[in-house]
Amino acid sequence: MGSEGRPYRTEHRDGFEILVGKGDDRNDTLTFGVAEPRDFWLHVAGVPGSHVVVRNPGNLDALPRPVLEAAAALAAWHSKARGARGKVEVHVCRVADVSKPRGFAPGEVRLRRWDAVRVYPRDPSG
């Protein structure tokens, strides 16, 4: 299967793999079918957008700041907040803290706990 069939696109930053969802149904597939519980999950706060997953094979407690900021900027860029003039808030947590209660729409999730980072929406890949 080529990259066209995957539910996400892949970016890399400082040796970390960052996966960006491509739409509501594919966000669900990325978060609940592809991501591992120990991976990091990001989404812009309060507006529709892509789920972003940062792979965490080393089971780190936190991402290096440049990787966190790059992934958060991608989450903001691939959201309805893309045109914001200032920084936007992006929630970050472990995939294990993301759930999908019965009846939630495609792409809609609930977070058990999260931190937030504020970034400018931009596509670090260029």
Average pLDDT, integer, range 7-33: 95
31-67: pLDDT as tens digits: 999 999 999 999 999 999 999 999 999 999 999 999 9
Q: Is the pTM of this model over 0.85?
A: yes
Q: Give the pLDDT confidence score for residue 4 in this predicted structure.
A: 57
Q: Give the pLDDT confidence score for residue 120 in this predicted structure.
A: 95
64-116: pLDDT as tens digits: 999 999 999 999 999 999 999 999 999 999 999 999 999 999 999 999 999 99
**Extents of the domains making up the chain:** 3-119
For 2, phi then psi, to 5°, come to -80, 175
Sequence-separated (6 or more) residues with CB below 8 Å from residue 3: 9, 10
Sequence-separated (6 or more) residues with CB below 8 Å from residue 74: 11, 18, 20, 42, 50, 52, 123, 124
Q: Give the pLDDT confidence score for residue 5 in this predicted structure.
A: 75
Q: What's the rounded Cα separation, in Å, for the pair 40 and 81?
A: 21
Residue 48, both tokens: 């529709």
- pLDDT band with cut points at 50, 70 and 90 for residue 1: very low
Indicate whether 125 pLDDT > 70.
Answer: no
Residue 61, both tokens: 């407690």
For 101, phi then psi, to 5°, come to -65, 150
Nearest one of 71, 67, 37, 81 to 51, comparing CA atoms: 71
- Chain position carrying tokens 């890949």: 125
Q: Give the pLDDT confidence score for residue 123 in this predicted structure.
A: 74
Q: Give the pLDDT confidence score for residue 86 in this predicted structure.
A: 94
Q: What's the rounded Cα separation, in Å, for the pair 14 and 108?
A: 30
